[in-house]
Chain A
């Protein structure tokens, strides 16, 4: 495997909603492979002719694969990237997967101002980003880390508020939650390992250049 290491470019793609968008975009610049599908049973899908290897992983693991150099580059949401605090190159804003991170509270128990929530509990998948945000507001909070269905927190009395990703706001509405602070806008990013960015620079640079052209031409 070592002999091929420098020849192959290994790309980590996340399962879930970013997968097909990433695969489509990469295909436009000639990066594809037969049977590249999220549902593939194979963990590594190769294109021998073009010397590309795809690995499909759980979303939160993409930055880890790239940081350790197990994948040279990867596609990941900015939220996951920020929360993971991994040491990787963030090369390109891919534009898709747009959503935003916000704080929401139950509509019927809304307090007058943001600072009225100081020292309360906030349920979130992103305790690091949330802490950074609240610290900037001069607020101390208690963070309750959850791994899914964050909206449930305030409903069952686990927390007074949530910090979560919102795309359309439908889930918030269904659960009678209201956004009270927008924390940041998020999109998918192309990331690279710091050693790969040097040792496989020509390939990665060409890929970034091609992707930039496509992203600029897109309406």
Chain B
């Protein structure tokens, strides 16, 4: 019996006190920020019907969902992100609410995938959804809030890359790429296979100028001036609109005083396929994966019967924790508080003292039996308490 080993399922993890404390601290700071910006927190069930997650424009990759069969014999799945559950809420529960809806969440989500750095099968996300506004001000508010969210979490060095999915689509339309080829090209780009991407372009029967423009898309990265280069390439309404809109959003972001964190990446395509307009990701050096990702999804809600534009983002809590550790600025608050010990018959006095100090904001650990002063000092020192108070 002495050799029992209790494992936890693949992709799950425990947070021990130090980690749990830091996680809670970060979540509290982000929650406070979201609330100050007028985003109200919602909590949705961990499980949804598979049909809900596989509905319409947002078809989750079914192989990545963790599924089981419910009592009513329908398949249920653990939520793989929070955008779909919130879209369901907006369509079903907030039918008569005034718009825009501003909702936030801090939740665990689940993906049946290979473990990555800062991402187990269960991981935590903090995010917002802004539903019912199509404006550039809405785009900018969400991107600015993402920047402030990452700053509030304590990350100092990071960049948010912004692009638009309609720019890529517009350029492909402009050179009359057949829709099946265009879709293939986007998928290849999404898989980040630029070798295959260029190979497909080379096989197309379009002008040399068109080929050069398409090949340039993944390399359109940089600060504001990249928009000028992109503007010269944009010859149809869709691609030009994408650039004008990005320029407008950028000027609003300057007013938010976050432009130093912003760069552009017109080849950006996010893994979720429901995005329609602006998309963005945040990166920090030394962490090989994005800290945060988001974008506009104007069609998802219409599939749920309520045609409303929407935009949102999610920050990966574990990735923030990892990045902070890398930056060497973890908020690991080592203080363990005060140990209150007491002589025989002094317990009631000690309880009153503990109450007084707790009210003053101190962390108090009260002894559970009487001991002599020497024992108390020894115990307090061994267990790393900041201070020992002994009642004689």
Contacts and interface: CB of A to CB of B under 8 A. Distances in A.
Interface string B344-388: 000000000000000000000000000000000000000000000
Interface in B114-150: 116-117
Contacts of B116: 67-68, 87
A199 B285 contact: yes
Interface string A84-101: 000111111100000000
B290 A90 contact: no
Nearest to A87: B192
Given A2-B328, A90-B193, A201 B283 contact: no
A53 to B, nearest CB: 13
Contacts of A44: none
Interface string B286-327: 111110000000000000000000000000000000000011
Contact of B195 (A87, A189, A205): A189
Contacts of B326: 2
Contacts, number: 62
A72 to B, nearest CB: 9
Contacts of A2: 285-286, 326-328
A2 B158 CA distance: 13
Interface string A1-45: 010011000000000000000000000000000000000000000
A136 B193 CA distance: 21
A198 interface: yes
A198 B265 contact: yes
A205 B216 CA distance: 11
Contact of A5 (B117, B283, B286): B286
Contact of B288 (A6, A69, A201): A69
B196 A199 contact: no
B221 interface: yes
A199 B159 contact: yes
A205 B192 contact: no
Given A198-B159, A199-B159, A5 B285 contact: yes
A110 interface: no
A2 B159 CA distance: 16
B263 interface: yes
A52 interface: no
A158 interface: no
Given A2-B326, A2-B327, A195-B283, A90 B288 contact: no
Contact of B263 (A87, A89, A198): A198
Given A2-B326, A199-B159, A201-B221, A90 B196 contact: yes
6 contacts: A69-B289, A93-B195, A193-B288, A194-B289, A196-B288, A198-B161
Q: Lowest 8 A-B CB distances belong to which pairs?
A: A69-B288, A89-B192, A195-B283, A5-B285, A90-B193, A68-B288, A201-B221, A93-B195
Interface of A: 2, 5-6, 67-70, 87-93, 189, 193-196, 198-199, 201-202, 205
Interface of B: 116-117, 159, 161, 192-196, 219, 221-222, 263, 265, 283-290, 326-328
Given A70-B288, A87-B192, A195-B289, 8 more contacts: A6-B285, A90-B196, A194-B289, A195-B285, A195-B287, A199-B283, A199-B285, A201-B222
